[in-house]
Structure 1
Amino acid sequence: MSAPGLPFFVYGTLRPGEVNHGLLLRGRTLREEPARLTGAVLYRGPGYPYAVEEPGGTVTGEIVTPLPRDYARLLAELDRLEEYAPGDPHNLYERVEREVEVTPAHPAAGR
């Protein structure tokens, strides 16, 4: 479980430009930085992807730092989206603390 105030690593529909980013994160973050999680891969489950630990794998996403005033409410909303309840053995996801590598943004190509 993440300690209060830690940023979130997001992938899938929570990434910038995706539907759940617009619904839940837009306007509620201090920073959004490209990042990657090593030692994991995306498993494309029934209807949604999720990260699973796998040596040698990499998941690309973003580190999202919420505005402090929105942190608790945003975490609760993300938990509802993921149908996550702390301690529930039926969770499809687990919220865990992991180190990720922030990667440089790629400038847009132009002519």
Structure 2
Amino acid sequence: MAQVSTRWTAERLMEAVKKLTPEEFRRFWEQLSAWRAEQEQKFLRIIRENSQLPPKKQRRFNQLRRKLRDETISEREYEELLSLWQEVERRNVERLKALIELAKLRGVSVQELMRQLGIGENTDVF
């Protein structure tokens, strides 16, 4: 059995929207606006949650980095630092994915989005 394509293009969507009554269009617009706001909030939450480690881990991470810099870190501490670095990298990946998706949603580049959010100047990120 052949499958029917259900892919909606912007043009097909626009044709469908043009056929809505004013009341249907109003309801559609409200739902679309609410969905977009939910998406933005979801991505902003992911970006925020993944911009730093939890406070206790962040303090420990900073302490271990100082010890590494000062060459006073023990082998056990170095292993702990590596583990924290892995978590930082995982969080960076999640944050970048959310930045990319939010930039697409807003129709801007990731660099522009970061400028809008003040992320480029943020030294509090890890």
TM-score, length-normalised on structure 2?
A: 0.22
Q: By percentage of residues, which structure has more strand?
A: 1
Q: By percentage of residues, which structure has more helix?
A: 2
TM-score, length-normalised on structure 1?
A: 0.24
